[in-house]
A and B are shown apart, each in its own frame.
Chain A
Amino acid sequence: MAGKIKRLLALGAVVLTTAALAWAGSDDQPKASGAPKPVITKAVKGEQCVEPNDFMRRNHMKVLLHHRDETVLEGVRTKKYSLKECINCHASEKTGSVAASKDDFCVSCHSYAAVKIDCFDCHSTKPQGSMAMHPLNAETAHYAHKLAAQANSKVSAEEMAGIAQ
């Protein structure tokens, strides 16, 4: 009886190790068919977000939450961490919005991560004025062709796993 259990445990250990190895190497392997990966389009305006991408992917909701209270309660309207500024940079060139179509910046990740947000029940998903006409965008409008070329990079699996954690 004891021998049988030992053999079972050994077998279990082998199976687990194999699974772990397979997991570690999973990048080279074909993905299990699941939800399509989010499309992360490069911001139309600006070179770099107000914080590094990794930080923003995990913490944008915290900084937005803090900033929104300062804005609503105290009337502090600084640009850093303002949702309006996120939208100014990240509105898609096609739809002019961050949440109008399924590939738009906010919607793309949130639907992948199954996080339902209600920001846009109240907040406009579009920058003020049209994209090209907006004074904040005017200076970068001539980048449009450049950005279209490098747009639509797929996020890697590690990045997504990082966000999920």
Chain B
Amino acid sequence: MNNMKSMSDDTPSSPERRRFISVATVTAAGVTLAPGVMLIDVAHGRPEEQAASNAVRWGMLVDATKCASGCDECVSACSTENGWTPVAESAHPKQAPQWIRKLELQDPLTQAETNLPMMCQHCEEPPCVDVCPTGASFKRADGIVLVNRHTCIGCRYCMMACPYKARSLVHEPLNDTQKPDVPRGIGCVEACTFCVQKVDRGDGTTACVEACTASGHNALVFGDMNDPESEISKRLRELPTKQVRADLNLNLGVRYHGI
């Protein structure tokens, strides 16, 4: 975003540049490169050979005042997108992986109810990364915290370290039920990936956000928190939000309004 700003502020607009801009405006939806080939400008779509960059920080806003009681659209969308078995269908519900959970909380004193989804908060200072003995638990340049299953030894230190109970271990062989885009398997720890496969594809959103929006609740917003023009940045400027266990100073990628 800094680049964008400096471009518009400092660069004198040359004729070529003006021509480029006018072309860009005419073909707002996409640029035709060749017959049948379109270059579509999606939110933060980056060329596939380009590594994730720290100019972006992906984040999510959860508006708990809009999150509906009894709704778990985000949870089932995540399970469908990422191929994990819903807890209710699992043979061993107590140890079934959960990438996102729906919480319905009630204040014992006031009886006030709060609804919210809880998942990996994509901490800027992730305890799960600090404790990992193999370096399998890592934070990508764009702020997404992931497990490298190639080096994870299943020790579960990270599960202990995570303040949000965000991680699960896969206890049983998955027998080729995985999604081609989402490898996951026995003996490895896993958690919400902010739908990294979708982010890398340039979708600029996650399965849970799409489902929440489709259900009409609009409680979730996903986007680049580093870009002041993104929807999430605008909403974060307007709404008072909280980080869960802000006292831990982890600078979370998921912010809650109305808790």
- Whether A84 lies near B140 (C-beta < 8 A) is no
Of listed B183, B187, B200, residue having the most chain A CB within 10 A: B183
- Whether A77 lies near B200 (C-beta < 8 A) is yes
Interface string of B115-157 (1 = CB under 8 A from A): 0000000000000000000000010111000101110000000
Residue of B nearest to A97 (CB): B176
Within 185-240 of B, Cβ neighbours of A (below 8 Å) are at 185-188, 196, 199-201
Which of the four size classes fits the interface of chain A?
Answer: 20 to 34
Interface string of A129-143 (1 = CB under 8 A from B): 000000000000000
Of listed B48, B180, B199, residue having the most chain A CB within 10 A: B180
- Whether B178 lies near A76 (C-beta < 8 A) is no
Q: How far is the CB of B58 from chain A (nearest CB, A)?
A: 11
- Whether B52 lies near A74 (C-beta < 8 A) is yes
Residue of A nearest to B50 (CB): A76
Known contacts A122-B149, A122-B184; A76/B51 CB under 8 A: yes
Of listed A69, A79, A124, residue having the most chain B CB within 10 A: A124
Docked complex Cα distance between A106 and B122 (Å): 36
Cross-chain contact of A121 among B50, B52, B173, B181 (Cβ < 8 A): B173
Cross-chain contact of B178 among A69, A77, A123 (Cβ < 8 A): A123
- Whether B48 lies near A78 (C-beta < 8 A) is yes
Which of the four size classes fits the interface of chain B?
Answer: 20 to 34
Interface string of B39-54 (1 = CB under 8 A from A): 0000000001111100
Docked complex Cα distance between A125 and B175 (Å): 10
Given the complex, which residues of A lie within 8 Å of B188, measured CB to CB? Answer: 122
- Whether A124 lies near B142 (C-beta < 8 A) is no
Given the complex, which residues of B lie within 8 Å of A121, measured CB to CB? Answer: 173-174, 185-187
Docked complex Cα distance between A124 and B40 (Å): 29
Cross-chain contact of A72 among B150, B176, B178 (Cβ < 8 A): B150
Given the complex, which residues of A lie within 8 Å of B49, measured CB to CB? Answer: 76, 78
Docked complex Cα distance between A126 and B177 (Å): 10
Interface residue A100 (Cβ < 8 Å from any Cβ of B): yes
Interface residue B92 (Cβ < 8 Å from any Cβ of A): no
- Whether B142 lies near A75 (C-beta < 8 A) is yes
Interface residue B179 (Cβ < 8 Å from any Cβ of A): yes
Cross-chain contact of B141 among A74, A122, A124 (Cβ < 8 A): A74
Interface residue A149 (Cβ < 8 Å from any Cβ of B): no
Docked complex Cα distance between A127 and B178 (Å): 11
Known contacts A72-B150, A75-B52, A77-B200; A124/B183 CB under 8 A: yes
Q: How far is the CB of B251 from chain A (nearest CB, A)?
A: 21
- Whether B51 lies near A124 (C-beta < 8 A) is no
Docked complex Cα distance between A68 and B148 (Å): 10
Q: How far is the CB of B184 from chain A (nearest CB, A)?
A: 6
- Whether B186 lies near A68 (C-beta < 8 A) is no
- Whether B184 lies near A126 (C-beta < 8 A) is no
Docked complex Cα distance between A92 and B110 (Å): 61
- Whether B180 lies near A84 (C-beta < 8 A) is yes
Not counting A74-B51, A75-B142, A123-B183, a sample of 18 additional A-B residue pairs whose C-beta atoms are within 8 angstroms of each other reads: A69-B150, A70-B51, A72-B148, A72-B150, A75-B199, A76-B50, A77-B201, A78-B48, A100-B176, A122-B174, A122-B178, A122-B188, A123-B178, A123-B180, A124-B179, A124-B180, A125-B176, A128-B181
Binding site for A on B (CB under 8 A): 48-52, 138, 140-142, 146, 148-150, 173-174, 176, 178-181, 183-188, 196, 199-201
> Across chains A and B, which 6 residue pairs bring their CB atoms closest together, nearest first?
A122-B185, A74-B51, A75-B52, A122-B183, A121-B185, A124-B180
21 A–B contacts, CB within 8 A, in A order = A68-B150, A72-B149, A73-B148, A74-B51, A75-B52, A75-B142, A76-B48, A76-B50, A76-B51, A84-B181, A121-B173, A121-B185, A121-B187, A122-B174, A122-B178, A122-B185, A123-B178, A123-B183, A125-B176, A126-B180, A128-B179
